[in-house]
Amino acid sequence: MSIKGQSSTDVITLPQLLSKARASYPAMAIQSARTQASQAYIKQVKANQLPTLRLQEELTLGTANSRQGSYFSPGVNVSTSGRNQTEATGEVATGNIAVAFAEWKIFNFGGFQAEQNVAKAEWQGAVASLQKEEFLLQKTVIEAYLNLLKYQRLALIEQQNMTRAQKISQVIENLVRTGLKPSLDSSLAIAELTKANLNFLRLQEQYQQSYLYLSMLCGLTPNTWQADTTLNTSRLQNISTTGVLPADHPSLLPYQRNIDLQLARNTFLQKEIMPKFSLLGAVWMRGSSITTESTFGPLANGLGFQRQNFLLGAVASFDLIDIERMHRKRSVQQYHLEQARQELTLSRMQLENELMTTDASLTALQGQLNQIPRLIRAGQDVYNQRLNLYNNGLETIIGLTSSLQMVYQTEKEYEELRDRTTRQVLRKALATNDIDSFLRLFQP
């Protein structure tokens, strides 16, 4: 069945539709960006090992009245250096100080590596989410494609039914005009034809909706393409009804990667309470308009540098109270880890159940699929025989229309059965992560 309004159209196969969806669907781009951000975060965390080097120069103008005493810095500490003045003065002095300060955290008992492992675990989780998104997109596209084929084939059946109903209506019209059949037969025939036409219009609407949805998923312009309708029905009857759930199933990977992430975070918390060792270094130069005798000299004297100093040091720091805080954080982290493990277990159980029920359904559907063609042939024979009998006046319109309905219903049942079987094969392919085996159904 073709869509109204189509002129020049390309025939696109299911594998091509999947490829176009992966390349154009926004959800894939979102997950891809998340993966790239996680990969960049690894480099960001690795940069935490680099030393810090701060350069600073200050030119100052102000008073210089010192007093002895200790105090806690209130945030920004305004320091006045030099000996105590005998009394406060309002004279001002200039100063100049340039400082280079470096700090290098050289050892923290594997804390750097643990932090990198957390970042790598987050990246692997993003990759797993991308794979799952692609897996779900394949499922969505294939299901939309199967809907398209279903409505197309059902519409073809309706067209065939309309053709038979039209033929019956013409035969009856001729017989009614000659007075061999009552006008009631003509009315019944028209009713059957009208009903077939209404069914065809409804299916055409459903087909159009499926076509537009599939166009959106694959980034295709409507009315410029049509789907390849090849389906090898004989292969449906030869699909194996046994399958194995793979350990690296795309639906399971995000849960497994979440477990890895929680383990990495747990290790990082263990490293966080360990001592930290750093090397410190500073070089600075100082100038002041205040002389060594604590007299206020010309302001211009303070704009240069009169003294140079350096200082090197090694620092070890350990927060004893942090042990209790980290212990509580690790307790919370253990619950996150247990939650991740249970989510993986539940997801695996659901997939295993999906696989078992699919195999059981396939066995029953394959048996039915073998029998329906015989029923269709029998129904067609009955219809042809009753049509001949009706032409010869040996059959009623009721018997003829019932045989017409029998053919229509069996053909429709066969198409719906084929659709259900195909969808069960898809469910099996999804459960076993073997989409390629499903795609072989659509090869000549």
Is the CB of residue 48 less than 8 Å from the CB of residue 112?
A: yes
- pLDDT reading at 148 higher than 50: yes
* Cβ pair 250, 135 in contact under 8 A: yes
For tokens 């249970």, the residue is: 342
Q: Which residues of 177-192 are buried (b: 16+ CB within 10 A; e: fewer)?
A: eeeebeeebbebbeeb
What pLDDT does 116 receive? 92
Helix (H) or strand (E) holding 267: helix 253-272
pLDDT digits (tens, 9 = 90+) for 211-242: 999 999 999 999 899 998 888 777 777 777 67
In angstroms, the CA 226 to CA 16 distance is: 12
Read off the tokens for 397: 């319109």
How high is the pLDDT of residue 5?
39
Residue-level pLDDT at 292: 79
The DSSP symbol for 93 reads E
pLDDT number for residue 31: 86
d(CA 349, CA 356): 11
User: Can you tell me the distance from the alpha carbon of 38 to that of 96, in angstroms, rounded to the nearest whole number?
Assistant: 45
Which of 416, 417, 412, 419 lies closest to 379 in space, CA to CA?
A: 412
Residue 17's pLDDT band (cuts 50, 70, 90): very high
Q: Which residues, at least 6 apart from 334, have a Cβ–Cβ distance to it below 8 Å? A: 266
What tokens were used for 22? 């992966």
Q: Which domains does the chain have, with CATH numbers?
A: 10-61+95-439 (1.20.1600.10)
Over residues 66-110, the pLDDT tens digits come to 766 666 666 666 677 777 777 777 888 888 889 898 989 888 888
Question: Which helix (H) or strand (E) segment is 225 a member of?
Answer: strand 225-227
Average pLDDT of 252-265?
Answer: 94
Per-residue confidence band for 180, with pLDDT thresholds at 50, 70 and 90: low
Residue 7 pLDDT exceeds 60: no
Cα distance between residue 284 and residue 55, in whole Å: 10
The answer to whether residues 344 and 255 touch, using CB atoms and an 8 Å cutoff, is yes
For residue 413, give both structure tokens. 């049942």
pLDDT in tens, 307-325: 898 989 999 988 888 788 8
Which stretch of 53-62, 272-281, 347-356 has the lowest confidence by average pLDDT?
53-62
Q: Does the structure show a pLDDT above 50 at 411? A: yes
**Residue position matching structure tokens 């195909």:** 422
Calculate what percentage of the chain has a pLDDT beyond 90.
32
Main-chain phi, psi angles of 249, to 5 degrees: -60, 135
Q: State the pairing for strand pair 307-317/225-227.
A: unpaired
Q: Phi and psi (nearest 5°) for 99?
A: -130, 140
pTM of the model: 0.79
Q: Return mean pLDDT, the chain.
A: 85
In sequence order, what DSSP letters do the residues of 76-144 get, joined into one string? S-----SSPPSS-----EEEEEEEEEEEEEEE-TTHHHHHHHHHHHHHHHHHHHHHHHHHHHHHHHHHH
- The half-sphere exposure of 170 on its side-chain side, counting CA atoms within 13 A, is 6
- The pLDDT tens digits for 259-279 are 999 999 999 988 888 888 999
Strand partners, 311: 282
